């Protein structure tokens, strides 16, 4: 992961943690003032956490796509490329072995 992306991720993570702590504090205040029930506060926090997990999944997907694109732009072989080449080599080796066997008969 590039240093720039890593710093951005850590900044976002820090903001999320701070946001969670502030939200939790505010929800507890609202429960104490009887503006919310404990169950409502849990629901709000659960929704906040679920949204955070969705954003994390989106981030991971985008990061993977960007990494794949960078590898492609640099001309680096991906796992898929290597596996495809291995399959082709195995197929060619099988064909060569068949020809050699046929020629020796």
Q: Can you give the pTM of this predicted structure?
A: 0.45
Give, for all 105 residues of the chain, the pLDDT tens digit.
456 556 665 556 666 667 778 878 887 888 898 887 889 888 888 888 888 788 888 888 988 898 888 888 998 888 888 999 999 999 999 999 999 999 887
CA neighbor of 22 nearest in space, from 47, 45, 38: 45
Interacting residues of 24 by C-beta distance below 8 A, sequence separation 6+: 45
- Residue extents of the structural domains in the chain: 1-74, 76-104
């Amino acid at each position: 992961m590039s240093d720039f992306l890593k710093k951005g991720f850590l900044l976002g993570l820090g903001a999320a943690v701070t946001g969670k702590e502030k939200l939790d504090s505010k929800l507890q205040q609202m429960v104490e003032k009887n503006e919310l029930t404990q169950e409502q506060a849990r629901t709000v926090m659960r929704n906040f956490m679920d949204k955070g997990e969705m954003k994390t999944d989106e981030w991971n997907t985008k990061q993977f796509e960007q990494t794949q694109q960078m590898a492609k732009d640099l001309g680096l072989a991906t796992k898929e490329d290597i596996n495809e080449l291995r399959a082709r080599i195995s197929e060619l080796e099988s064909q060569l072995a068949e020809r050699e066997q046929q020629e020796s008969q």
